[in-house]
Amino acid sequence: MKLNTIQDRQSGTARPRKRPAAFTALAAGLAATLLTGCQSEQLLSIGDMSSGYNKEIFWMSLWAIALSIIVFVGVSWALFYSVQKFREDRHDAPPAQFHGNNRLEVILVAVPVVIVILLSVLTVRSMARLNPVPVNAPKIDILSKQFWWNFAYPTVTSDAGGTVANGNEMVMPTGQPVVLNLTSGDVIHGFWAPNIGGQRHALPSVIRTWKVDTERPGVYQGNCSQLCGASHANMRYKVIALEPERYQAFLAAAKAYRAPTPAEGSAEARGYTLFMQGKASTGALACSACHRVQGTPAAAGAGPDLSFFGTRRTLGAGMWEGEEAEKNLVPWIANSPGMKPGALMPTYDGSEYMVNGKMQKGGVLTRAEIEDIAAYLRSLKLPEEADYWRGTPVYGARAGGTQ
Ligand code: HEC
Ligand SMILES: [Cu+2]
């Protein structure tokens, strides 16, 4: 196709009305990349007014912005007025001097002081509303680690032993403040799910407590907001807000949950054995050395809790969702550091990976063995009524979203 150049126009050719095809193709390509590339992306919004936390911050900011506009307009007016009124070409004589005018000086100091006091009062008022943590509110203990999240329910001890917990998917009730206790197992991370309220840093050896809330049931996106290493951008999670009755149903079922015992001779049973014991002959480490599955001997915390893995819809700490997560489970178990840079899980296809700056070689499981383990993981399901994804609307999913 002939490009529309300056020479064309100078030589008298009319500029074609149509956009050059190259441009159209580029735009279409870009749109396609954006749409497919972000298939599982969800909008994040600090302006989500279904959260009381966000509402409070919004009104406080509005006051602060309004005061700033008043100051800006006032100062600009004074500036332009003086420049205009006291132009040198209109005034031959030196201007009147008012050095030592106490009244003026007091006014010039008092006005900013009043504005700053007003802003402080507004800020302190918002803090007084947001900071107190209700005693009887639902609590969630959050552990962040490179590059995943664990959400534990400290008041819910499971019948099978241990505290009820879920990796990378946080379930909370709507219509009431939820108290979050956040910490880190290694470096500094940031908990940021703006639709439900404020962001906090996760600091090693410190527990930060605050509250979040939302009125609207839904699935919300959460991200790590503090640069924490190679897979910082892949350190995501979902917040699933349920109406209180459904939340209670989830907690009750999670409390009573015991991982199902697979039928003898099934793929799940073979997967179970490999999960618990690994395969010493090929150096494949037991999954139970790092993961917990409620109701089994697996009780370790070096990786996310997998108790209800079959109910989950994300994989790799929110890197994949829905069908993608389903498709990637076997490749993930085979070589997770290959799929997610820096993931601290061994490989099971014999490839090399790095831990603490040292190259290591993973053990080896066959494809069939890994598929058995995947089958076992998929069988780890909460009962139907406690499936927190079922029917829960996904907030702000882009076109082509998966849920
Ligand atoms: C040395 C500890 C370790 C061992 C052994 C281990 N894992 Fe992991 N696993 C991890 C860590 C750490 C993560 C989190 C990786 C990330 O997202 O950055 C993880 C993540 C996972 C996830 C993804 C969970 C999610 O929701 O994103 C699955 C599934 C999983 N492991 C299964 C297994 C299986 C199956 C085995 C055994 C074949 C196994 N793991 C062995 C440490 C381990
Ligand atoms: Cu992080």
Centre of ligand 2 from the C-alpha of residue 234, in Å: 8
State how far the Cα of 357 lies from the Cα of 140, in Å rounded to an integer: 33
Rg (CA), the chain: 29
Q: pLDDT digit string (tens) for 166-223?
A: 999 999 999 999 999 999 999 999 999 999 998 999 999 999 999 999 999 999 999 9
Tell me the longest C-alpha to C-alpha distance in the chain. Answer: 106
Residue 40: predicted pLDDT: 54
Report angle CA 104, 110, 114 to the nearest 5 degrees. Answer: 150
Q: pLDDT digit string (tens) for 278-331?
A: 999 999 999 999 999 999 999 999 999 999 999 999 999 999 999 999 999 999
Mean pLDDT of all residues in 63-73: 92
Residue 170: predicted pLDDT: 98
Q: Are residues 275 and 366 in the same domain?
A: yes
E strand segments, 243-351: 314-315, 320-321
Of 214, 230, 256, the residue at which a domain comes to its end is: 256
Centre of ligand 2 from the C-alpha of residue 149, in Å: 9
321 within domain boundaries? yes
198 within domain boundaries? yes
Mean pLDDT of all residues in 343-356: 94
pLDDT above 70 for 12: no
Mean pLDDT of all residues in 158-171: 97
pLDDT grade, residue 21 (50/70/90)? low
State how far the Cα of 186 lies from the Cα of 203, in Å rounded to an integer: 8
Total number of domains in the chain:
3
pLDDT above 70 for 75: yes
2 within domain boundaries? no
Determine the residue of 143, 169, 231, 291 to mutate for testing ligand 1's pocket, defined as the one with the most ligand atoms within 8 A of the Cβ atom: 291
Q: Are residues 173 and 196 in the same domain?
A: yes
182 within domain boundaries? yes
Structural element, H or E, at residue 237: strand 236-242
Ligand sitting nearest the alpha carbon of 238: 1
Atom of ligand 1 nearest to the CA of 343: 18
% of the chain with per-residue pLDDT over 70: 89
State how far the Cα of 140 lies from the Cα of 167, in Å rounded to an integer: 12
Residue 93: predicted pLDDT: 77
Residue type, 117: I
Domain holding 356, by residue range, is 267-386
- What the block records as the tokens of 45 is 């919004």
Q: Are residues 312 and 381 in the same domain?
A: yes
pLDDT grade, residue 403 (50/70/90)? very low
193 within domain boundaries? yes
Looking up residue 275, the CATH number of its domain turns out to be: 2.60.40.420
- What the block records as the tokens of 245 is 């009755």
Q: Are residues 235 and 148 in the same domain?
A: yes
Of 256, 280, 308, the residue at which a domain comes to its end is: 256
Looking up residue 110, the CATH number of its domain turns out to be: 1.10.287.90
% of the chain with per-residue pLDDT over 90: 78
Residue 6: predicted pLDDT: 40
DSSP, res 227: -
Q: Are residues 114 and 201 in the same domain?
A: no
Residue 147: predicted pLDDT: 96
- Which protein residue's CA is at the shortest distance from atom 5 of ligand 1? 287
DSSP characters over 264-289: TTSHHHHHHHHHHH-BGGGTBPPGGG
13 within domain boundaries? no
Asked if 67 contacts 111 with a C-beta cutoff of 8 angstroms, the reply is: no
Structural element, H or E, at residue 172: strand 169-173
Pocket (CB within 6 angstroms of ligand 1): 147-148, 167-168, 231, 275, 285, 287, 289-291, 302-304, 312, 314-317, 333, 340, 343-346, 348, 373, 377
Peptide bond just before 147 cis, omega within 30 deg: yes
Mean pLDDT computed over every residue of the chain: 89
Residue 278: predicted pLDDT: 97
State how far the Cα of 39 lies from the Cα of 21, in Å rounded to an integer: 27
Centre of ligand 1 from the C-alpha of residue 290, in Å: 7
63 within domain boundaries? yes
Asked if 275 contacts 346 with a C-beta cutoff of 8 angstroms, the reply is: no
Q: Are residues 160 and 225 in the same domain?
A: yes
Centre of ligand 1 from the C-alpha of residue 304, in Å: 7
Report angle CA 240, 246, 250 to the nearest 5 degrees. Answer: 75
Name residue 183's beta-bridge partners: 143
Q: pLDDT digit string (tens) for 30-52?
A: 444 444 334 457 889 999 999 99
DSSP, res 330: H
Centre of ligand 1 from the C-alpha of residue 224, in Å: 18
1 within domain boundaries? no
Report angle CA 312, 315, 321 to the nearest 5 degrees. Answer: 75
